[in-house]
Amino acid sequence: MTTRNARLWLLGAVVADIALRLRFLNVPLSVDEAGYGQVARLWSRGFALYGETAWVDRPQGLVGLYRFAVWFGDEWAIRMLALTAGVVLVVAVAVIAWTIGGPRVGMLAGWLIALLGPAPHLEGFTANGELLGGAVAAAAIAVAIRWSVRPRLWILLTTGVVAGCAPLVKQSAFDGVVVAAAVVLVIAVRERAWRAGVTRILVLTVGIAIPWALAMLAAASASPGVGGWWYAIYGYRAATESLLSGDFGFRLQLLGKSILPMLVDGAPLLVFGVVGFVVLRRQRQSLMPLVWLGACAVGFLAGGLYHPHYWVQMLPPLAIFAGLGADHVCACWPRRRALAVVGVVVAIPLLASLPVYFASTPELASERSTNDPRVISARPVGAAVAAATMPTDRVQVLWANAAVYWYADRIPATRYLWYRNIERIPGASAHVAAVFAGSNQPEIAVEYQSVDALNADGSIQQVLDAQYQSSTVDGIRIWQHERHP
């Protein structure tokens, strides 16, 4: 395959990825997307990030990207953020695969991630941290791989800056740092250029440190300080929801449930990936894809909760292996037979996703992909909350649905927007109860789970029964304070 033809095919892959992701432009935001969006709104309106109102257990980079998107619009702008990340991922994966295996490998890997990356059953179309952080990490790896071909210190510095930004978008996206360091070390060993290797590692380290230094300075200038920032992005999860904390059996159960969606959406990457692994080993090609896959696996496992969208982080390195495997099939078999085999294998998950892509309504597409009824009900419930309150009123969703805050565009009465935050953070549920018992009670309380689920003594229910009036919207109970009928 000529370079020109490969570039044209890659352009087609980018167009295909955009076309698939555009289908989800008007599909309701996931609970996480909407929650991040509302935190970004609050931050843009002067509330301190990681403070008493705009709190989230994600780094500034992710919230900053959402803030940038919200500046342009609402739901569609957040999905455009996902679309942009998808395009970056296609290009980065293609560049990496091209450098390792040649134009055809790059073209095949690019098409595989373009067609399978939106992954409806893995929420690959959403602007989740795995997609956004993975795109930044993949871009850093692409730059590092190109640096290995043209070793210039400014390119290496750029690699470090981009790689350092990735964990500031999603904590587990440290694979860019690992792979970039591995590339520098391998070249130093191969060339036996130890002094140059030390210099290059220092340059890479400086690049990585730049975004982290800026993030720490930003955190230090805000009211929670560096300690509050660090607890939000690492301390909370390390103590409650990581691989090494919490109920291991529960973690294992979550992991098991996430495997089927991965098999539905990513089976071709696994099938051709095995072939690619064998090819890589036999031909003694670059070990970079294996290092990348290993780093992503560590990030995946460290997360702890194993939602299906965790697998999105694994798709880029798997696409490299799959590109190598598909290229081997094309090289060993007659052209028509090879293309037929590759086409059939890739078509299987696309056919399985047709009910999502061709859903008659955005709500039905959401139901068939994310399978979370809270996503669909959040729109009418949020609209009802907005109609019954003023923009400065505070609301509390029990226990919880972060998407309601987004669609209502109202200020949370407490800083806990997600169920796990309230359940796991010491004193969080007691704080919510204290807010209901105090003088500055929420104007609206929305009941998504039983009130006594996280308030066993019934104190919140007593306040609701005594001081609030209830109604129902889309099957969800809404409690409105009597002082604000």
Distance, in Å, from the CA atom of 219 to the CA atom of 49, rounded to the nearest integer, reads 8
- What average pLDDT score do residues 425-431 get? 93
Mean pLDDT of the chain: 93
pLDDT at 91: 97
141: tokens are 């790896």
Q: Each residue of 1-22: pLDDT tens digit? A: 677 787 888 999 999 999 999 9
- What average pLDDT score do residues 101-126 get? 95
Q: Each residue of 223-268: pLDDT tens digit? A: 889 999 999 999 888 887 777 777 778 888 889 999 999 999 999 9
Distance, in Å, from the CA atom of 415 to the CA atom of 431, rounded to the nearest integer, reads 10
Q: Each residue of 441-465: pLDDT tens digit? A: 999 999 999 999 999 999 999 999 9
438: tokens are 């105090």
| Alpha-carbon distance values, 426 to 240, 245, 305 (Å) | 10, 15, 19
Question: What is the largest distance, in Å, between two alpha-carbon atoms of the chain?
Answer: 77
**How many C-alpha atoms does 161 have within 13 Å on its Cβ side?**
8
**Dihedral over alpha carbons 185, 190, 191, 194 (to 10 degrees):** 40
Amino acid letter for position 320: I
- What average pLDDT score do residues 108-117 get? 97
With residue 1 as reference, give the H or E element that holds it. none
**How many C-alpha atoms does 442 have within 13 Å on its Cβ side?**
31
Distance, in Å, from the CA atom of 27 to the CA atom of 364, rounded to the nearest integer, reads 9
- Does residue 362 have a pLDDT over 80? yes
- What average pLDDT score do residues 128-135 get? 97
Strands 468-473 and 476-481: antiparallel
Dihedral sign, CA of 22, 28, 30, 36?
positive
Residue 285 binned pLDDT confidence (cut-offs 50, 70, 90): low
Are the C-beta atoms of residues 177 and 208 closer than 8 Å to each other?
A: yes
- Does residue 133 have a pLDDT over 70? yes
Q: Which residue is listed with tokens 């792979």? A: 179
Q: Each residue of 91-102: pLDDT tens digit? A: 999 999 999 999
3: tokens are 């370079």
From 329-338, 377-386, 413-422, 452-461, the region with the lowest mean pLDDT: 329-338
Are the C-beta atoms of residues 13 and 114 closer than 8 Å to each other?
A: yes
Q: Each residue of 195-205: pLDDT tens digit? A: 888 999 999 99
Residue 284 binned pLDDT confidence (cut-offs 50, 70, 90): low
Would you list the domain boundaries of the chain? 3-357, 373-481
**Using a CB cutoff of 8 Å and minimum separation of 24, what contacts does 39-46 make?**
39/63, 39/66, 39/417, 40/64, 40/66, 40/67, 40/69, 40/70, 41/67, 41/70, 41/406, 41/409, 42/411, 42/412, 43/67, 44/70, 44/71
pLDDT at 144: 95
296: tokens are 């992503």
Angle at 431 between CA 425 and CA 436, to 5 degrees: 145
- What average pLDDT score do residues 335-358 get? 92
pLDDT at 181: 96
Percent of the chain at pLDDT > 90 equals: 81
- What average pLDDT score do residues 154-162 get? 96
Distance, in Å, from the CA atom of 197 to the CA atom of 297, rounded to the nearest integer, reads 27
Q: How many helices and strands (H and E) does the chain possess?
A: 22, 5
- What average pLDDT score do residues 415-443 get? 93
Q: Each residue of 51-78: pLDDT tens digit? A: 999 999 999 999 999 999 999 989 999 9
| Residue-level length of the chain | 485
- What average pLDDT score do residues 459-478 get? 96
48 contacts: CB under 8 Å, gap ≥ 6: 54, 222, 223, 224
Are the C-beta atoms of residues 232 and 56 closer than 8 Å to each other?
A: yes
- What average pLDDT score do residues 38-57 get? 95
pLDDT at 484: 53
